[in-house]
Structures are given as C-alpha cells and as structure tokens.
Amino acid sequence: MAIIKSIKFWLAEIVLLAVVLPIFAALFGIFIIILNTAGNLYGLIATLIVVMFVGGTLGSIRSCFIEGRERFIPCFFPALLLTTYFLAVWLIMIVIADGDFGSSVFYLGQRWFGLYAVLIESASSTEFYTTTSMAVIAPVIPSGGILAYSVMRFIISRQENKLESVAGWRGIVLLIVALAIAISGLLAWQTYDRSQRRVVNDPAREITESFEFGAYFPFTPDNKLTALNISPEFSLKKHWPRLNGATAVYPVYASAVQALYHNLDVDSVRKYVRCDRTSAAYDDLIHGQADIIFVAEPSAEQKASAKEQGVDLHFYPVAREAFVFVTHKDNPVTQLSETQIRDIYSGRVNNWLEVGGNDARIYPYQRPKGSGSQTIMLAAVMGKDKLRKPLETESFNDMLGLLRNVANYQNSANSLGYTFRYYATQLHHSPELRLLAVNGVAPTAENIRNGKYPYVIDVYMVTAGKPSRQSQKLIDWFLNQQGQKLIADVGYIPLAR
C-alpha cells in the first residue's frame, strides 16, 4: 500500500509540474505577447518570471494540501527527475549545435520539453514566428518554474514541520549545480569561440568569388567576353547543349557560346548558358538540367549524389588552373610551405610570427561548403587534417532570424585566404593583393604549365553519362587548337600538348 501511495503522489506531482504549471504560465504569458516583448531578452526574462511565479504559487498551494510528515527524497523526487531531464536535454542540444546558435536543433528540440515548448517558443520567436538566438537559453524556463515550485514546497514544509528527514538534499543540489555548471560553461566557451570567429564585413576590403554576370552575358552589347581572333571551325545552329558551371570558368564557356551558338539572341540564349556555381551546377547536371558543366573536381557529397541518382559522371580536362593562397601586399610573408598552410587551417598555428611574419593573429578565411575552392582545399590541401571552423559574419533578418555565413575574404595585413588564380589575377585583380608562393614556388603561368607549383588543378567539362552528339562536338572543339587558344586568351593555362 505504501508503494501505491508513493506512486500516486509522484504522478500527482508530475501532472502538476509537467501539465498544470505550463498551462497556467501560458495563460499568464498572453500578456507578454500583448506587450510585444516576445523574441527578445525582455520577453525571455518576462516569461521566466511568469513561470517562476506560477511555479512558486503552485508550490505554496500544494504544500497546504499535504497531510502528515514527508521525507525529503520521496517528496522532491518528481521535481528532481523532471529538472534533471530538462537540463540534460538542454545540454545535449548545446553539444549538438556545437556553437551554432542559429541551429535548427534549438527549434526542433523544443518538442522534448512537452507543454513547456509553447512557452519556450513564444519567448524565443519573433512576431513572424522566426526562432531567434533566445532559443539557446530559453530552455531555462521549465527548470526555473520547477525550481520555484520546489523551493516554495521546501520552505512551507519546513515552516510547518512536515519534513521529517532532509537527508540527501546535498546530493540533489550538487547534481543540479553540476548540470547547470556544465551548461553555462559550455555556453560560455561557445560564445567565446563565436566571438573569436566573428568578423565584420568591410565592403572596401572584401574580395568575393563573384562578379557582374551581365557584363559577361552572350550577345549583350559591349560585353567583356573574349572573341575568337579567327572564324570558328564549326557552329551550332540548333540543339544547343545547355551549359552551366563554376563562376570562375563562366567567361570561358560564355565566350564559346557567343562565338559558336548561332540563331540565338540575348533572350533565347538564357536557356542554354547559366552560371549557378559549382554546387548547383553539379546538381543540375545530375538531375538532367544541364548537358555540360565547367567545374573543378566534385566533392565527396557531389559524388555520392551522382551515385545515388545512378549517374555516371564523365570528365574531360579542358584547362589548367592554380589553387592559390592570398594575403595583403603589406604582409611581410611572401611564401608558405604546404605544412604551414595545413597547420594554419587546422588550427595548430594561429600567429603570423610562427611562419616568419609579424606578431599578429592570423585570420584564415575559408569558402562555403560545396564550393569549388572549398572542395579543392579539402581534397588537395588538407588531406587527412580537419579544417578549423570558419570565420563568419552575423546578421539578423526579421523573417529568417539570425543568419551566420562563412565570411568573404577581407584583405588586410593579417588575413589569409584561398581562391583560384583566375579570380585573383583576372576577375578581381587588385594591386593590394599578394599571391603567396608555396614551397618557394610562385603560381606563375610557367610554373602551372610545368607542374612545379604544388596546387595545380584541372578544370573539367563534365557530362552525365556519354555526351550527346552536339555536346561531343563542343567538347572536341574545346580540346582542339582553336578551343585551347580561347582558353589561353581568356586567361587560363591551356592543356599541355
């Protein structure tokens, strides 16, 4: 009978804490929404105060209905169980997010808080129902309510001399404190790590892997495309292959389209020449939206996607290019070894002094996941070494919430970045930018041609399976003398003959 009585008592406590408390708190929380404080720190604090007030009130009322004397552990076991559960879920969410305070885990994980999810969501969402960074600390709400309930129960029970034994309370407090310290410590470290990786975007110093496509679009007046210096050896008058590719290679295949695609104009050609960047280009090819793409080698994810769709990618090298590392011209460092580059981008080296420069922090910029340059960085440079977390910029959008993006290269004396040589010397040539030698070898045209520069890569024409007849004609043209002459005139290194 004693066991049954204890179970009934615990069930009643759990219903009070997990159902009644959040429902009453949600009713009071309507005033917070009316005051339009949801989604910011004030809204979170107001919600926490409401929940703790309701929890404390319920704890006081509950104590009045307890008859007889109680032992501490059985009395507070349900509250301890729920508090431990909520704190553990919160800790797991923080570990999974790994410093990304805009991670969807803070939104998707709300369901694990039961009815408290309503309070957490209202305290961490804007009027557009967008989750804000408050979602990271909003899980404190249920723990705060249960804590207030337990404290009031404990105080009143002690005052009325209803607790016959308080043995074990220190162990409970230590467990909760340990979880709280783990959560706060991890959040503090992640906040510090984010602050170290956050940079402010300065448009005056920014160098991106992009350019104004309109200036390079086929058949537009006075565009910047490279013209053939002699009449083309063949032309395509119908069944034009659909082309797509990396931003850096766009001037190559767009110039070919303008020279070889006949019976098209500036409007009708849009169907046949696009530049959706490396990741989207591979996706279009795999899903039949492009016939030939001009890109660097695919990432592991892109290879897996092709395999999953049953697509056999065919690669045709069309030009040679260098993967280069850049810094500001005022940086005294003029060259890095391959080992030094890996040490910097893995996080083992963080100061320019360690690689022969000034005593200053290194700001190692990266590129977004799936981009051509990031794929080459992982495959050709890092090897088995893991890349450090990238520098990022932060912005807030009312509709999208907190946005964190991989920061574009900011050209300062302490910056280090990587890109393709064509970007740095053609599309974004700047006298303030220095291309670093690697292992003492500069990325000159001659060193790319003879293979002495360590990071020489091939630019590919890629098809999904065997190319069509029209596509094969275009591929063959690019590989013959006239096509390779265009490659050189645009600014790439033609294939060795």
Q: Where are the alpha helices (DSSP H) in 69-208?
A: 72-97, 105-108, 116-124, 140-159, 169-197
Torsion angle, alpha carbons of 356, 358, 363, 366, to 10: -30
Q: Where are the alpha helices (DSSP H) in 211-273?
A: 250-260
Q: In the chain, where are the structural domains located?
A: 2-197, 202-497
Give the amino acid at 1.
Answer: M
Residue 125: what pLDDT? 65
Helix axes of 481-490 and 250-260: crossing angle, nearest 10 degrees: 130
**Element counts in the chain: helices (H) and strands (E):** 17, 15
| pTM listed for this prediction | 0.70
Residue 180: what pLDDT? 77
Residue 289: what pLDDT? 95
The token duo for 53 is 């007030």
**CATH T-level assignment (fold) for domain 202-497:** D-Maltodextrin-Binding Protein; domain 2 (3.40.190)
Residue 401: what pLDDT? 45
Residue 129: what pLDDT? 44
Whole-angstrom distance, CA of residue 337 vs CA of residue 454: 10
Whole-angstrom distance, CA of residue 464 vs CA of residue 373: 22
The token duo for 185 is 């410590």
Q: What is the mean pLDDT of each run of 10 residues along the chain (497 residues)?
A: 73 88 82 52 80 89 73 76 84 79 76 84 59 69 87 81 64 75 78 74 71 86 90 91 93 95 94 91 95 92 93 95 94 96 95 95 88 87 91 55 66 90 84 93 94 94 95 95 94 84
DSSP per-residue letters across 380-400: IIITTSPPPPPPEEEEEETTT
Residue 407: what pLDDT? 74
Whole-angstrom distance, CA of residue 469 vs CA of residue 480: 17
Contact 420, 207 (CB under 8 A): no
Nearest residue to 258 (alpha-carbon basis) of 278, 243, 277, 248:
243
